[in-house]
Amino acid sequence: MPEAKGFGRRPRDPTDEPVELGEVIDGLLSEQLFARGMPVAKLAAAWADVVGSRLASETAPTSLEAGVLTVAATSGPWGAQARFLENEIRSRADEALGGGQVRSVRVIVRNRR
């Protein structure tokens, strides 16, 4: 049977034995795919504090790969505003994540429909 892309074979087959929720979460976080998304989720939760409420309503962090934070803006003007504030966004996002994770910011525009 084909496997989903990005997911390897689980080390053990499922059982009916109860498992503590913390154990399940630890297992998922140990998998590279899930661990990569945690910094973005943390940033998304604090985004209004990072960029301010008005800019947060028109932008969102979408990925953090190799130190590059990608921020999606809802329109060209909001993208331009985010690009103008790139250094401040980089600094504050890195601080929100504890430092040493965000080296640069890339802004993309995703128009609303």
CATH number at residue 75: 3.30.300.180
Place of tokens 């003007």: 77
Kindly state whether residue 75 falls inside one of the protein's structural domains: yes
In this predicted model, what pLDDT tens digit does every residue of 76-88 receive, in sequence order? 999 999 999 999 9
Kindly state whether residue 6 falls inside one of the protein's structural domains: no
Place of tokens 């390897």: 8
Question: For residue 106, what pLDDT band results from cuts at 50, 70 and 90?
Answer: very high
Q: Which helix (H) or strand (E) covers residue 54, if one does?
A: helix 53-56
CA distance 27 to 40: 19
Kindly state whether residue 82 falls inside one of the protein's structural domains: yes
Residue 112: per-residue pLDDT? 62
Kindly state whether residue 43 falls inside one of the protein's structural domains: yes
In this predicted model, what pLDDT tens digit does every residue of 43-78 receive, in sequence order? 999 999 999 999 999 999 999 999 999 999 999 999
Place of tokens 């525009």: 109
∠ Cα 60 63 66 (to 5°): 140
Kindly state whether residue 96 falls inside one of the protein's structural domains: yes
Higher pLDDT, 3 or 36: 36
Kindly state whether residue 1 falls inside one of the protein's structural domains: no
Q: Which domain holds residue 77?
A: 39-109
